[in-house]
Amino acid sequence: MNEWIKEQLELLREPEYQQFISRLLPGTEHILGVRLPILRKMAKKLARGDWNDYLISASDDSYEEIMLQGMVLGYAAGNLAEKEPYLRAFLPKINNWSVCDSACSTIKLAKKQPQQFWDFLMEYLHSPRTYEVRFVLVQMLNYYVTPDYLSKVLEAVDSVLLKTYYVQMAQAWTVSICYRDFPALTLPFLKENNLDDFTHNKTLQKITESRKVPTDEKAYIRTLKRTSLQP
C-alpha cells in the first residue's frame, strides 16, 4: 500500500506547485507538490478500503503522506472509539498549519459526538506542542461556536498557556468567529480576558476585517485595542 501511494504521489507532483506551497509552509520538509483536491480524492479511496491497516502502516516520509492520514481519519466510517487510537497517533505528526487545518475540516466527529469529542480535545488544550493545541482551537471554531458551547469555547481559548504564533493566530481566529456569530455574548470577553496583547489585538483585527460584522460595530471594536506601555 505504501509503495502504491508513493508511486501515485510521484506521478501527481507538480514542481511549480511544490515551490508555491513551500513558500507558504516555511520549515516544512519533503513537500512533493500534490494539490489538495487530488489528495482528498486519494484519501476517499483509501477510506473506503481497510483504513485501519493503512493508518497502522502509513508512511510519514512526506508532507502529502501525513496530510493523507488526517484526511483518511475524517473520511473513514467510524465513531470516536474506533478512530481514537489512530487520532492520538496522528496528532503528534502534525507539523504545519496546513495539515492541521485540513485535518480539522475533514475530521467531523464533533458533529455526531460533540461532548465525547470535546472531552477528547480538552486533553490536548494544554499540550506543549503547537499543532496539537491549534488542532483543538480549529476544531472549536469549526464545530463548537454554538449556543451550547460558546461559553466553554471562550473559557478554553482564554486558558491556553502556549504562546506560539500559530496558536495565537488560532486563538484570535476562534474568538473572531465567536463574535461574528454571537456578538452580544462575546463582547464581554473582548472587554476582559487573559489573552496576551498580541493575541487580543489580532482578535480585534480579524473581527474588523470580517464582512459579516457591521461597520458601526467595527468602530467600537477598534476602541478595545490595547496599546503597549513600552516606549
DSSP 207-231: HHH-TTS-HHHHHHHHTT-------
Residues written for the chain: 231
Of 100, 73, 95, 71, nearest in space to 86 by CA: 73
Tell whether the model's pLDDT for residue 3 goes beyond 90: no
52-58 CB contacts, 8 Å cutoff, 24+ apart: 52/86, 53/1, 54/1, 55/86, 55/89, 55/90, 56/86, 57/1, 57/2, 58/2
Fold of the CATH domain 108-231: 1.25.40
Q: Read off the pLDDT band of 231 (50, 70, 90).
A: very low
Q: Read off the pLDDT band of 229 (50, 70, 90).
A: very low
Element at 49 (helix H, strand E):
none
pLDDT at position 1, please?
Answer: 77
pTM to 2 decimals? 0.95
Query: Which residues belong to CATH 1.25.40 in the chain?
Result: 108-231
pLDDT at position 230, please?
Answer: 43
